[in-house]
Amino acid sequence: MEVARQARAHVARLDLSTAQVAVLDGQAHAARALWNLLHEYVTFRQGRLATVKECDTAIRAARREIDWMGLLPAQAAQAVLKTYRQAWANFFDPAHPAGRPGFKSRSRSRPAVDVPQARDLNIARLNRRWGAVDLPKVGRVRFWWTKDLPGVTRDGPAGRITGARLVKDAFGWQIVFRAERQVPAPAAHPGERVGVDRGITVALALSDGTMRGEVSA
């Protein structure tokens, strides 16, 4: 039987001390500032965008020369660069409805920090209500266990955790686990293939002449 990989997100609320909240707040501000520094470095040039190698070199230099940049773990800094470059790729892709990357405002940006590598997390279930996870530069943190995570517990779903993203909302910090599961691949449709054209007067026009959602005069 053929299998396919299915990506899912599992969200859980973190139980942080005041000191740990301060650390994550500092990391999130550093991540936003790094994005803005990258945007300035990439766009304020003569005739071309900076390459990935040039950006990586600039980040390493900034981490050596700017004290507060060290608040952000190295892997999280690389995740900012990856996300920023992907934003440009989406902008230049004619099939992708993405806007031009810009500066991030402190008041309008949601604080967030990436943990790209799952091996840094060391996830474990403590009891029925709580799990624990390692966060870089923060330490061991409890989180509210609301759903079994793939590959973590013996009786949990098959699959694995590939990384996580820490996001702050009005209620505090939460962790979004990136999970990957193997599911049966969907079977090919036995019928004939048909093309679909989307429009305004007719919502869907099929290549076999069928119309769907036609607006009456």
Range of the domain at 135: 3-184
Q: Is the dihedral of CA 31, 33, 34, 35 positive or negative?
A: positive
Strand order of the β-sheet with 211-214 is 196-198, 202-206, 211-214
Residues 13 and 46 in one domain: yes
- Give the pLDDT mean for 185-200: 68
Residues 179 and 192 in one domain: no
**Across-strand partners of 115?**
164
How does pLDDT run across 163-172, given as a tens digit for each residue? 999 999 999 9
How does pLDDT run across 24-42, given as a tens digit for each residue? 999 999 999 999 999 988 8
Range of 17-21, 54-58, 213-217 with top mean pLDDT: 17-21
User: What pLDDT, on the 0 to 100 scale, is given for residue 32?
Assistant: 96
- Give the pLDDT mean for 127-147: 95
Residues 118 and 67 in one domain: yes
Q: What is the tally of structural domains in the chain?
A: 2
Whether 217 has a pLDDT exceeding 70, the answer reads no
Whether 4 has a pLDDT exceeding 80, the answer reads no
Residues 133 and 196 in one domain: no
Residues 106 and 197 in one domain: no
What pLDDT band is residue 126 in, cutting at 50, 70 and 90?
A: very high
- Give the pLDDT mean for 46-54: 75
Residues 12 and 79 in one domain: yes
Residues 158 and 193 in one domain: no
Residues 153 and 195 in one domain: no
Residues 69 and 49 in one domain: yes
Closest CA to 180 of 164, 163, 161: 161
Q: Is the dihedral of CA 92, 162, 73, 75 positive or negative?
A: negative
b/e per residue 77-103 (b: at least 16 CB within 10 A): bbbbbeebbebbeeeeeeeeeeeebee
How does pLDDT run across 56-88, given as a tens digit for each residue? 888 888 888 888 888 999 999 999 999 999 998
The Cα 11–Cα 22 span in angstroms is: 21
CA distances from 63 to 2, 57, 66, 168, 195 (A): 46, 10, 6, 24, 52
